[in-house]
Amino acid sequence: MSQDSTRSRGSSALLALAAVAVAFAAADTYVVVLSLPDMMGSVGLSIDELQRAAPIISGFLLGYVAMLPLIGRIADLRGRLPVLVASLLVFGFGSLVTAAAYDLPSLVTGRFLQGVGGGGLVPVTLALVADIYPVERRGVPLGIVGAVQELGSVLGPLYGAAVLAFGDWRDIFWINLAAGLVLAAGVAALGRGVEPRPRRRFDVVGLTLLALWIAALLVVMRQPERLVTSVRWGGPFVPFGDDGEFFGSIWFSQAGLVTIGLGLGLLAWLLIAPARAFVDLRDWWASVRQADLLGALLLAVLLGGVILAFATADPEVQVFSDAGPVYLGTAALAAVAFAVHQRRAASPLIPRGAFGARPAWGSLLVSFFVGAALIAALVDIPIFARVTVYGDSQIKAALVLVELLVALPIGALIGGYLTRAYPSGLIAAAGMALSSFGFWMMSTWDVDALHHLSSSAVLALTGLGFGLALAPVNAALLATTEPAVHGVTSAMLVVSRMVGMLVGISALTTIGLRRYYAVSGDFPAPSEVCGGPTRCDRYSDLLQHAGIEQLHAIFIGASLAALLAALLAVVLFRGAATRGAPTSPLLGIGG
Amino acid sequence: MILRNTRRRPARRTAFAVLGALVLTITLAGCGSSDDGASSQGGDPIAALTAAKKKFDEASSVHFTMATTSKPAKGTDAVLGAKGTLTHQPAFQGEVKALYIGITADIPLIAVDGKVYAKLPFSTGYAVINPKEYSAPDPATFADPAAGISGLLLKLEDAKKTGEKRDGKLVVTTYAGTLPGALVAPIIPSADAAGTYRTVVGIDDDGRIATLAVTGDFFSGGGDVTYDLAFDDYGKNVTISAP
């Protein structure tokens, strides 16, 4: 009896820690929005290449979403604790790769790994809730996990701004690495009382290899100047090929190959001696195979194809690069294969018939467009602030976004109450129409718009609109699906919103820029504008205005996405019996 | 008990085999680096620098890159780097990385026949600009034997040979000295004309300028900032023409 109560107390503490980790991972989705201009500069991107920088955000979302089909099942097979610790460690490793990134692909790889780790946390934490609480008492804790996730996304940009106030963008990810490791250690320590398992022996060989590999990885990626310019020690860092060639990559140097060798050595050790290694990779792999690996891979190919199709575009010329249709075609094939796979799988991710009712699948569709619009706000409003009035203060640029984010939970509460009395389609549509109007207003903002109080009103209105739509969309889903599948269907709502964000940030940026170039045509020569000299305030204004115009194009896109969400909600939610149904206003705002 | 022991042994043996292979790789890698590329460059720094200047001025073209990892603290405009090809027409074709309202932009640039053509951000074609008005250098003058990069070499004060440094595949002999800001400003416009800049020139085995590092206060009061310049692909047959 008393042992039981300490176990449950341990579980609650574990859940609290897991919730902190979830908040941290959620913060990480948006932590980059302020440092995006700096990160672009660090990896050699120019400000008019916004579409190429989009994968810095969408790469994280890809990892997050692609992980979901796998992780729930793995957590069932292996227990919550190992999966939680592993997710945090992968998150930490992704942070390390991001912090040490030397070009765009390495940066996006790091962000993807961060997403994989972060994405693993959510289903396991939800499963922990299910372990600890009986069905009828799960509402509040689930709501708290959702709220914590939302809190993370509010704090993310602020946290990023706070770090940028005294460091550079790399410091954000070094701190993330430290936090990931501390949380992993905390979870492992707490978990010992909850899920007792035999202690493994200290694996000298494996851990030595791991330490050497990570050290080598850091040295090769960061290329410390003292080392690489040393006549004696710099030789191994020189790539075999020339700059720009395949073999000119930093990995095709002696040091690079040693790093790869160390990595393979570590892998070999883990596979050859699973009983002695610090982690039993074979056993993990077996669990991954038992989970829906094919589903996860197909989903990753599908979303990765979409990201690449838009990211490789040159909006000055066209929406897609020559390779664009190939990427999109691959994504379409993966989509078909994923659908077929879902139909044939013995235990599909989404139970068959779960989304049979129109409001049920409709809520997924609406969520998708809500996500697409929301990401435009989260990414492009801070950039607007930095381009116009707060070029030198990231904190102030972050606070502009906060004006929108504080209104969001207020809207969510109001939406929750209204949903009890009025049709959900109507309220969701009203909310998204409000947001659509807000974006439309933003698309008319000029250089000093943020100095006027009216901009705060527009931002608050937009946030309020997003908040209003949360509860009715969720209620429409819950009212038209079986209680037994509420867990997985609610999760799908979040996934749908994240996929919307991913596609939104990719597509809106590229299509918006293309539209901008198509409409604005070409600039006059500076000497024409200035009447003689080649630089004058008028020309600078023109340039700055062009920078803002590309954001305007994106805001218009977001406005249309929000409008579409509103229309879909009106049409598709008709007949959903949501009135009087008790729903927690907090439930499902995560994402 | 016995069974467990025999099971463990192969694992241990493989572990040693793996470690052994790794140690071998690392040692081999170490061997590659142990030749110290002892390039004797002659003791007289002035002679070496004069010869390097001559080679620079005689080359039909030189590819160069310029970069700094620092940024001005406040949102002032600055040139953060450049890469491209210089010819003695004099001309330049390449890209200039500029900081503009707190945001970096890569600006394609062609300088030839005394005119500078730039493809400014958000425009689709080249326009003639006056680089002075953009507090940017006219990169064509980089190739000028007197006011350009090679001219700096002879004006290096207290030039001393300081040792050797690796620059990728090359090992360069370094010469250090100082330059007055007025001479640096035509290359890096944010230089303070009244300031003094520590300069390290790296000369390769063929006696050509390979690297040039200029350190000093470039962003008014922001502390030491280093601009690294690197030169390669000497003497390619390049002709640059107006866009």
CB < 8 Å to B18, chain A: 205, 209, 265, 268-269, 272
Of A54-68, A455-469, B129-143, B183-197, the range with the highest mean pLDDT is A455-469
Total number of residues shown for chain A: 591
Contact A257 B25 (CB under 8 A): yes
Q: What b-and-e string marks burial along A158-180, b requiring 16 or more CB atoms within 10 Å of the CB?
A: bbbbbbbeeeebbebbbbbbebb
| A220 neighbors A256 (Cβ within 8 angstroms) | yes
> Exposed/middle/buried for B224, CB within 10 Å: 0-12, 13-18, 19+?
exposed
CA B154, distance to chain mean position in Å, is 19
Give the mean model confidence (pLDDT) for residues B175-189: 89
Q: Is A453 found in the same domain as A490?
A: yes
Q: Is A384 found in the same domain as A329?
A: no
Could you tell me which residues come within 8 angstroms of residue A13 by beta carbon, excluding any fewer than 6 positions away? A190
Query: Rounded to whole angstroms, how far apart are CA atoms A514 and A516?
Result: 5
> Per mean pLDDT, which range of A370-384, A565-579, B91-105 is the poorest?
B91-105
Q: Is A115 found in the same domain as A38?
A: yes
A299 or B30, greater pLDDT = A299
| DSSP type of residue B35 | -
Contact A269 B129 (CB under 8 A): no
Query: Rounded to whole angstroms, how far apart are CA atoms A187 and A86?
Result: 10
**Residue A287, in any domain of the structure:** no
Contact B130 A534 (CB under 8 A): yes
Q: Is A218 found in the same domain as A185?
A: no
3-state SS, residue A447? coil
Q: Is A299 found in the same domain as A403?
A: no
A453 band by pLDDT with thresholds 50, 70 and 90: confident
| Phi, psi (deg, nearest 5) at residue B229 | -115, 140
Q: Which of A41, A235, A549 sits opposite B104 (nearest CB)?
A: A41
Contact B166 A526 (CB under 8 A): no
Q: Is the pLDDT of residue B2 over 80?
A: no
A286 band by pLDDT with thresholds 50, 70 and 90: confident
Cis peptide before A196 (omega within 30 of 0): no
Q: Is the CB of residue A386 less than 8 Å away from at least one CB of chain B?
A: yes
Tokens of A541: 């204004």
A119 band by pLDDT with thresholds 50, 70 and 90: confident
A172-192: pLDDT as tens digits: 999 999 999 999 999 888 877
A387 or A135, greater pLDDT = A387
Tokens of B92: 């330049």
**Residue A396, in any domain of the structure:** yes
Contact B165 A231 (CB under 8 A): yes
A384-441: pLDDT as tens digits: 887 777 766 667 777 888 888 888 878 888 888 888 888 989 999 999 999 999 999 9
Whichever domain contains A446, its CATH number is 1.20.1250.20
Q: Which of B32, B105, B127 sits opposite A47 (nearest CB)?
A: B105
Total number of residues shown for chain B: 243
Q: Is A82 found in the same domain as A33?
A: yes
B45-62: pLDDT as tens digits: 888 999 999 999 999 899
Tokens of A197: 């398992």
Q: Is A240 found in the same domain as A218?
A: yes
Considering chain B, what percentage of its residues have pLDDT values greater than 70?
Answer: 79
> Exposed/middle/buried for A4, CB within 10 Å: 0-12, 13-18, 19+?
exposed
Query: Rounded to whole angstroms, how far apart are CA atoms A250 and A265?
Result: 20
**Residue A282, in any domain of the structure:** no
Q: What is the dihedral of CA A19, A23, A28, A29, to 10 degrees?
A: 100
**Residue A286, in any domain of the structure:** no
Query: Rounded to whole angstroms, how far apart are CA atoms A333 and A298?
Result: 9
* Domain-ending residue, one of A346, A363, A382: A346
pLDDT at A520: 64
List Cα–Cα distances, A474 to A357, A424, A567, B99, in angstroms: 14, 9, 17, 46
Q: State the nearest Cα–Cα gap between B134 and chain A, in angstroms.
A: 7
Tokens of B85: 């090809």
Number of structural domains (chain A) is 4
Q: Is A255 found in the same domain as A136?
A: no
**Residue A251, in any domain of the structure:** yes
Which residue's entry shows tokens 């958000």? B122
Half-sphere exposure of B112 (CA within 13 A, CB side): 17
| A283 neighbors A312 (Cβ within 8 angstroms) | no
Q: Is the CB of residue A281 less than 8 Å away from at least one CB of chain B?
A: no
**Residue A284, in any domain of the structure:** no
Q: Is A440 found in the same domain as A328?
A: no
Q: Is A205 found in the same domain as A195?
A: no
Q: Is the pLDDT of residue A564 over 50?
A: yes
pLDDT at B73: 66
| A308 neighbors A52 (Cβ within 8 angstroms) | no
pLDDT at A276: 84
CATH class name, domain B45-232: mainly beta
Q: Hey, what long-range contacts does B136-139 have (CB within 8 A, 24 or more apart)?
A: B136/B79, B136/B96, B136/B98, B136/B189, B137/B79, B137/B186, B137/B187, B137/B188, B137/B189, B138/B111, B139/B82, B139/B84, B139/B86, B139/B92, B139/B94, B139/B96, B139/B109, B139/B111
CB < 8 Å to A47, chain B: 103-105, 121
* Domain-ending residue, one of A219, A253, A277: A277
* Domain-ending residue, one of A157, A178, A199: A199
Q: State the nearest Cα–Cα gap between A43 and chain B, in angstroms.
A: 11
Q: Cβ atoms within 10 A of the Cβ of B145, count?
A: 16
Give the mean model confidence (pLDDT) for residues A531-554: 77
Q: Is the CB of residue A255 less than 8 Å away from at least one CB of chain B?
A: yes
Give the mean model confidence (pLDDT) for residues A284-295: 83
Nearest Cα residue to A255 out of A281, A290, A227: A227
Which residue's entry shows tokens 């070499």? B153
Q: Is A434 found in the same domain as A325?
A: no
**Strand B127-129 relative to strand B61-67, pairing:** unpaired
B11-30: pLDDT as tens digits: 455 555 555 554 544 444 44
ipTM score here? 0.71
Domain around A234: 201-277
| A268 neighbors A262 (Cβ within 8 angstroms) | no
A144-168: pLDDT as tens digits: 776 677 677 778 878 888 888 888 8
Q: Is A366 found in the same domain as A354?
A: yes
Q: Is the pLDDT of residue A259 over 90?
A: yes
**Residue A238, in any domain of the structure:** yes
A217-250: pLDDT as tens digits: 999 998 888 888 888 888 888 888 877 778 888 8
| A463 neighbors A404 (Cβ within 8 angstroms) | yes
| A447 neighbors A385 (Cβ within 8 angstroms) | no
Angle at B86 between CA B81 and CA B89, to 5 degrees: 140
